[in-house]
Structure 1
Amino acid sequence: MNIEEVQSTTKKQRIATHTHIKGLGLEPSGRAIDMAAGFVGQKEAREAAGLVVDMIKQKKMAGRALLLAGPPGTGKTALALGISQELGTKVPFCPMVGSEVYSSEVKKTEVLMENFRRAIGLRVKENKEVYEGEVTELTPEETESITGGYGKSIGGVIIGLKTIKGTKQLRLEASIYDALIKEKVVVGDVIYIEANSGAVKRVGRSDAFATEFDLEAEEYVPLPKGEVSKKKEIVQDVTLHDLDAANARPQGGQDILSLMGQMMKPKKTEITDKLRQEINKVVNGFINKGTAELVPGVLFIDEVHMLDMECFSYLNRALESSLSPIVIFATNRGICNVRYKGCFMCNTKLCLSSC
């Protein structure tokens, strides 16, 4: 069983409705500040959520879920995101809606399990030789095309890296230039390049380019310390669902049928329990060696009143697992009956009418 390295979805940043939420805005004593961390008001709810965060950090809350009830627009999603931010900026936060489980392609329990695995992170630590610094120069070297004609091809790239201790100029292969283009690296970015594999990772924008009125959702980082060439502990964050999807994806051949299958829109398929158990064994092996650690995240299920009895039974069993994230339910219906497995409209086990 091979676990492929994939790019985690938790690292992608975008401007959304609750991007401004950076925490719960609490004092060290636990009291809510009027305006802090993107919150205004809801002081009692924030203080109650702060108690939940303290219980989670002290490992006194496991196998339980949190229910947020209130009218639309009262801050249920914001509170859930605030709890996730208080637990850590790298903690996975997976939002979903109760109606998402009703799919014609996959089972309800499969949708729930996928989101459970999206909310569980794996932090892998490795010591590698890297070249790290702020990009001061990025010059591609053009050569004559090997196919002839008037075209030019990229034969390599000259890149300049700067740290606090000094600068270095490197000549890299054309494949690494392609990796720089994929990462959208420009002059002024802080990057590191692995010496053995040539993998490129953009850390962020140098804080020397930060301005007071910058509106972009850019992450500014300080100039790296030490020399350009160094040994560094590389920390990579992925989710268990990323590993599931990477290993469940079929590796097509070069024949015409495989190429046609790759061109067509792939149908959503279920990931087998056997594959997940194999991945759990490999993950547990990494954890026992000390090279990785699990990061339980937050699974936020909105419109939880849409779930039926089968879903709640499955959630009850999944919450008792050692790999369970913190589950937060939200609803705007107040007190309502749990639906049976069956019709949406008449709430019966077997509906024969046209409703």
Structure 2
Amino acid sequence: MVTISEVKTGTSARENRTAAHTHIRGLGLRPDGTAEKVLSGFVGQESAREACGLIVDLIRAKKMSGRAVLLAGGPGTGKTALALAISQELGTKVPFRPIVASEIFSAEVKKTEALMENFRRAIGLRVKETKEVYEGEVTDLTPEEAENPLGGYGKTISHVVVGLKSGKGTKKLRLDPSIYEAIQKERVAVGDVIYIEANTGAVKRVGRSDAYATEFDLEAEEYVPIPKGEVHKKKEIVQDVTLHDLDVANARPQGGQDIMSMMSQLSKPRKTEITDKLRTEINKVVSTYISSGVAELVPGVLFIDEVHMLDIECFTYLNRALEASISPIVVLASNRGVCTIRGTDDIEAPHGIPSDLAGRLLIVPTYPYDKADIETIVKIRAKTEGLDASEEALMRVAEIGAETSLRYALQLLTPAGVIAKSQGRGKIEKSDVEECKELFIDAGRSAGLVTGNFLA
């Protein structure tokens, strides 16, 4: 007998990797802007979350552009989590560009170029365009052939006849053979809902008509209703791009200088140097279309973690970039106290940031977690990682977190789960945590061990 087994897919399958901040779903604020003790995966840091809530409101009101925020606190106090929570609160339509400061140092790209590129990636442009489209359910799809003009026995497609049906009527269209290629790429069949742009001939398959949806259907199709109104209509299409996309697309411009010519170049990116002159010209065109109402600027968020790793040249350039007419909201994070600014011999400053830049920042402090907060975080992480642990084991992990660091304690959870499974148990016990603690030492014990070896 042939064995057939079903491959289970869908929302129940864990397809995504569990990252360090997977459990963060937002800032966890009440409607009046005050923070809950535990909400949206966040625990504690109420004052910092409320401050970040105000920053989110300023960004939404478009009163924060060109300003910068510094999240300052010790390691493992939730600075990166706060930045990601700001991103979650703003939604997917607002660009969010997270980088680590050391990323901008490269042998191939200048520091200032890398910094400006990330600035431009964090600034969005929402272009609204009214297009003439044909939209409806495909009732007929017939390619018509003709003799090959180059001779031989083969035939070529001269045109294709497409029948479309909408809520208020039907139409038959005779289309160019190039559009038939686009129809084939989209895998359009009779019964699909599509729309065709009249100007460009672009074809988009929206989904399968819900008239074909039955409980016995085996295909995992997305069913959509038949479009309302006439088949031929004017439709407003909104397109979201970043300024960096426009920079790359127009580094070697071909075609007109109107906004749609610029947009059409997005599908043909070329790796080449982007000059300040080109960026200035693109800014002028963007400003023109913003003032005429064709496009809307969406200042996003650039998050620079470990900002003390930047050098004095980068900080100087950052000052200039923040003062530009088109700039994003910059969120910086640092876990240093007073330290030497990189690129200088002996200039010390709080958080490793020059005083002239630090004076421009809104500084949000984060504080170490107490034992009760650590216990709650450990329980949330165990649930997020799908681990079954006894209360005793979770309490022991929390104790280790209070003694050493939260990061170290959370890293013990998954190995403890592996040890429990290897011993035939589904639940993590305290002994599994203790075994992991012996196998993997924390940074403090490691430093003591190394120091002892050197002294010996």
Output the TM-score relative to the length of structure 1: 0.69
CA distance in 1, matches of 2:116, 2:59: 22
1:102 aligns with 2:105: yes
**Which sits farther off after the overlay, 156-165 or 232-241?**
156-165
Greater C-alpha Rg = 2
- Cα deviation, 1:37-96, whole Å, max 9, x if unaligned, reads xx3435624333211111223344343212234567765444334323433432122222
- Cα deviation, 1:17-48, whole Å, max 9, x if unaligned, reads 57886644433222446444xx3435624333
Which residue of 2 is the match for residue 326 of structure 1? Answer: 329
* 1:327 Cα offset (Å): 0.9
Which residue of 2 is the match for residue 11 of structure 1? Answer: none
Paired residues of 1:24 and 1:83 also in contact (CA < 8 A):
yes
CA distance in 2, matches of 1:239, 1:20: 28
Change in Cα spacing, 1:228 to 1:112, as seen in structure 2 (3 Å) is same
1:275 aligns with 2:270: no
* 1:166 Cα offset (Å): 5.5
1:175 aligns with 2:184: no
CA distance in 1, matches of 2:78, 2:161: 50
Paired residues of 1:108 and 1:311 also in contact (CA < 8 A):
yes
1:198 aligns with 2:201: yes
Which residue of 1 is the match for residue 233 of structure 2? Answer: 230
* 1:230 Cα offset (Å): 0.9
5 Å-filtered alignment, 1:8-157, equals 17=19, 23-32=26-35, 34-36=38-40, 39-42=41-44, 44=46, 45-69=48-72, 76-133=79-136, 136=138, 139=141, 141=143, 143=145, 146=148, 156-157=159-160
- Partner SS for 1:61: coil
Unaligned runs of 5+ in 2: 1-14, 255-268, 346-351, 353-456
- Partner SS for 1:248: coil
Paired residues of 1:80 and 1:300 also in contact (CA < 8 A):
yes
* 1:114 Cα offset (Å): 1.0
Task: Give the number of aligned pairs.
Answer: 306
CA distance in 2, matches of 1:66, 1:219: 42
CA distance in 2, matches of 1:103, 1:117: 18
CA distance in 2, matches of 1:96, 1:154: 50
* 1:225 Cα offset (Å): 3.7
Structure 1 counterpart of 2:319, one-letter code: N
CA distance in 1, matches of 2:22, 2:158: 41
CA distance in 1, matches of 2:154, 2:28: 58
- Partner SS for 1:68: strand
Which residue of 2 is the match for residue 295 of structure 1? Answer: 298
* 1:177 Cα offset (Å): 3.4
CA RMSD of aligned residues (A): 4.1
* 1:332 Cα offset (Å): 4.6
Q: Percent identity?
A: 69
**Which sits farther off after the overlay, 108-117 or 146-155?**
146-155
- Partner SS for 2:92: coil
Change in Cα spacing, 1:333 to 1:269, as seen in structure 2 (3 Å) is farther
Unaligned runs of 5+ in 1: 1-13, 252-265, 348-355
Paired residues of 2:27 and 2:42 also in contact (CA < 8 A):
no
Structure 1 counterpart of 2:66, one-letter code: G
Select which of 247, 251, 268 maps to 1:248. 251
Change in Cα spacing, 1:40 to 1:169, as seen in structure 2 (3 Å) is farther
Output the TM-score relative to the length of structure 2: 0.55
Select which of 305, 316, 319 maps to 1:316. 319
* 1:249 Cα offset (Å): 3.3
Structure 2 counterpart of 1:26, one-letter code: L
Select which of 283, 287, 292 maps to 1:284. 287
- Partner SS for 2:340: coil
5 Å-filtered alignment, 1:339-350, equals 339-340=342-343
Determine which structure has greater relative contact order: mean sequence separation of CA pairs < 8 Å that are 6+ residues apart, divided by chain length: 1
Change in Cα spacing, 1:162 to 1:335, as seen in structure 2 (3 Å) is farther
- Cα deviation, 1:144-187, whole Å, max 9, x if unaligned, reads 78366777765555556565555655453332233345567678
- Cα deviation, 1:307-331, whole Å, max 9, x if unaligned, reads 1111111111111122110111234
- Partner SS for 2:250: helix
CA distance in 2, matches of 1:167, 1:220: 20
Paired residues of 1:105 and 1:269 also in contact (CA < 8 A):
no
Which residue of 2 is the match for residue 260 of structure 1? Answer: none
Structure with the largest fraction of helix:
2
Structure 1 counterpart of 2:43, one-letter code: G
Paired residues of 1:190 and 1:206 also in contact (CA < 8 A):
yes
Structure 2 counterpart of 1:52, one-letter code: I
* 1:287 Cα offset (Å): 1.7
CA distance in 2, matches of 1:43, 1:221: 44
- Cα deviation, 1:239-264, whole Å, max 9, x if unaligned, reads 1111111111377xxxxxxxxxxxxx
Change in Cα spacing, 1:155 to 1:73, as seen in structure 2 (3 Å) is farther
